[in-house]
Amino acid sequence: MTPNRGFFIVWRVRSAFIHLLKADRAKLKVAILLSSSIEKIMQCELCDRQMEALTAHHLIPKQNTKRKNEDPSPTIDICSACHRQIHSLFENKHLAQELNTLEKLKNDPELQKFVSWIKKQKTDKRIQVRGKKARS
């Protein structure tokens, strides 16, 4: 009994496809191993610490823009500790009106105290931020 020609063609295509999948899977494993071995270090734009992960801080908060679905403003890449400290110290309205550039954030006296302290901390330490939204 000979197989149907259509079945034979489908079988060859399927086996070739499976072979490609296996080859791609092997390449993918190598790529994953290589990417995990390379440390991805980035620098916080506010405290200058070397971090593995950063968050994007909108210089003008989304709440204060007319079009919330679109990207409202430029962002800066900062560590999560700096990001949480900014939002614990300042209301979004104050951030939008007064502290809407990286230079203004760096020159703020309250934030300077935190930045000088955070620079001395280990990067793997989870920082608990304290502050009240003093300015509105």
Residues 80-120: tens digit of each pLDDT: 999 999 999 999 999 989 999 999 999 999 999 999 999 99
Residues 33-64: tens digit of each pLDDT: 655 545 567 899 999 999 888 999 989 887 76
What is the pTM assigned to this prediction?
Answer: 0.64
| Neighbouring-strand partners of residue 42 | 51
Tokens of 119: 């620079």
- How far from 76 is each of 10, 14, 18, 32, 49, CA to CA, in Å? 53, 49, 45, 28, 14
Short-list 66, 90, 86, 91, CA closest to 75: 86
